[in-house]
């Protein structure tokens, strides 16, 4: 049986062209030597992308979306993201929006922090990535912005029902991490799933202000260990400085005090 290396060597001898894999390239080469631009607001979903870009060693610059003046509704920003949400990542392939889509593009482009497309773990990884984006994160929006989803007289019931849904979601993620999902998502943790989950844990502990009594990280021991581990990751330390996240942003979060912009 021929391995991938022998096939590549034969191709090189036959064509005179040496195959270049993603892992053989620098991060800059894998993005066409073009600097990526992350449109961000402090402690928003863009935080997940910042962390992953940094952990991958991908060069990027940031452009603040000023939430205090609703800059996400400006025509210029809507041209990049017609939904008007944060983040957007400008890439050689054009602007990409939606957190899950950006993470998948980065993982595939750089061959890092997620199973490659032909990995037997790919299906499981994709399932949990989309569950994070479409289920957990989507329901968090229902809790954080109830005025968009429930009439004034139903806010209390809306909060109760949504918090119960989120608690059930987190228990599913706890079980998955206990079963080693993080270890199978990538050969060298952390994975994009790890950073995404850690940010969700942070936001559940902080928002909505005065309405976080339902959440208890101590009841999720595997996810608590993940949060404590990522608190001290080098990418996290740089994000702490850039966005004013406090010393333990995942395991014992405090409201952001960013050097620029507004988290809400």
pLDDT of 254 higher than 80 = yes
In order of 48, 64, 264, the CA distances from 70 in angstroms are: 21, 12, 10
**Burial of 87 per CB tally in 10 Å (0-12, 13-18, 19+):** buried
- List of residues 6+ apart from 111 with CB closer than 8 A: 21, 22, 23, 30
**Burial of 103 per CB tally in 10 Å (0-12, 13-18, 19+):** buried
Q: Retrieve residue 205's tokens.
A: 């502990």
Q: Is the CB of residue 177 less than 8 Å from the CB of residue 223?
A: yes
pLDDT at 210: 94
Q: Is the CB of residue 233 less than 8 Å from the CB of residue 249?
A: no
Domain ranges for the chain, please list them: 122-232
pLDDT at 16: 32
In order of 9, 80, 86, 250, the CA distances from 94 in angstroms are: 34, 9, 16, 31
pLDDT at 221: 98
Average pLDDT score over the chain? 89
DSSP H helices, the chain, are 4-15, 27-30, 46-56, 75-80, 99-110, 122-131, 137-144, 155-178, 181-185, 192-206, 221-231, 234-243
Q: Is the CB of residue 263 less than 8 Å from the CB of residue 44?
A: yes
Residue 40's beta-bridge partner residues?
64
| Cα atoms in the Cβ-side hemisphere of radius 13 Å centred on 240 | 15
33 confidence band (pLDDT: 50, 70, 90): low
Q: Which pLDDT tens digit goes with each residue over 66-77?
A: 999 999 999 999
pLDDT at 110: 95
H or E element, residue 40: strand 36-40
In order of 172, 231, 263, the CA distances from 235 in angstroms are: 27, 9, 19
pLDDT of 18 higher than 90 = no
pTM as predicted: 0.87
CATH 1.20.1050.10 fits 122-232, yes or no: yes
Residue 159's nearest CA partner among 198, 206, 213 is 213
């Amino acid at each position: 049986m021929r391995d991938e290396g022998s096939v590549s060597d034969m191709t090189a001898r036959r064509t005179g062209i040496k195959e270049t894999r993603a892992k053989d390239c620098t991060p800059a080469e894998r993005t066409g030597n073009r600097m990526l631009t992350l449109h961000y607001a402090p402690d928003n979903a863009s935080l997940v992308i910042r962390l992953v870009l940094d952990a991958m060693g991908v060069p990027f610059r940031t452009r603040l979306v000023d939430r205090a003046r609703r800059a996400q509704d400006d025509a210029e920003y809507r041209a990049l993201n017609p939904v008007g949400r944060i983040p957007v990542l400008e890439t050689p392939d054009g602007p990409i929006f939606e957190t899950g889509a950006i993470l998948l593009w980065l993982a595939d482009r750089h061959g890092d922090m997620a199973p490659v497309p032909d990995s037997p773990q790919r299906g499981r990884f994709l399932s949990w990535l989309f569950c994070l984006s479409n289920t957990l994160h989507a329901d968090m929006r229902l809790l954080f912005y109830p005025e968009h989803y429930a009439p004034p007289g139903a806010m209390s019931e809306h909060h109760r029902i949504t918090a119960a849904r989120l608690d059930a979601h987190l228990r599913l993620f706890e079980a998955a991490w206990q079963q080693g999902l993080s270890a199978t998502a990538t050969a060298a943790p952390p994975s994009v799933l790890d950073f995404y989950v850690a940010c969700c844990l942070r936001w559940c502990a902080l928002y909505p202000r005065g309405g976080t009594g339902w959440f208890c990280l101590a009841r999720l021991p595997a996810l608590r260990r993940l949060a404590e581990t990522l608190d001290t990751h080098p990418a996290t330390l740089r994000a702490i400085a850039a966005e004013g996240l406090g010393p333990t942003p995942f395991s014992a979060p405090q409201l952001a005090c960013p050097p620029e912009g507004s988290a809400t």
